[in-house]
Amino acid sequence: MSTELTSLVWVAALTAVMWIPYILNTIMVRGLHDAVGYPANPKPLAAWAERLKKAHYNAVENLVVFAALVLVLNATQVSNSTTVMACEVYFWARLVHAVVYAMGVPWLRTLAFAVSWACLVALLLQLL
């Protein structure tokens, strides 16, 4: 498996587990019954859990673009130092984005997102 595909697996794995902490907070705050149901007036989650939920949504939205680019790279057999570095940096930028978003650090959150977006652009440029 190529480095780019390996990075895609790691990004998918990260995205797949990001929901666990905020769902645990939902259960702790609202109880299991309300966590799996549709309460009329749900108790608010912890601020970090709300932010992590938003980070997770953002990760899912960007995973679509990242996966499409990596799969096209793989299908067209485009692999070079730029694609490898962009894929590896993308994973770390998304991890940092999730952590600093949950912690409520606005400038680092924005910087991490910008780095991950730049990685997507770098991948796109390798295909055009």
CA dihedral 46, 60, 82, 113 (to 10 degrees): -40
Tell me the CATH number at 60.
1.20.120.550
Task: Note down the domain range covering 87.
Answer: 3-16+47-127
Q: For residue 84, is it within any domain?
A: yes
pTM summary value: 0.92
Of the CA atoms within 13 Å of residue 17, those in its CB half-sphere come to 8
Number of domains composing the chain: 1
Q: How confident is the model over 9-18, as a mean pLDDT?
A: 98
Task: Summarize pLDDT for 23-41 with one digit per residue, the tens.
Answer: 999 999 999 998 888 988 9
The average confidence (pLDDT) of the chain is: 96
Residue 97: what pLDDT? 98
pLDDT given at position 7 = 98
Domain assignment present for residue 57? The answer is yes
30 occurs within a structural domain: no
Average pLDDT over residues 12-31: 95
Could you tell me if residue 101 is inside a domain? yes
Within-domain flag for 22: no
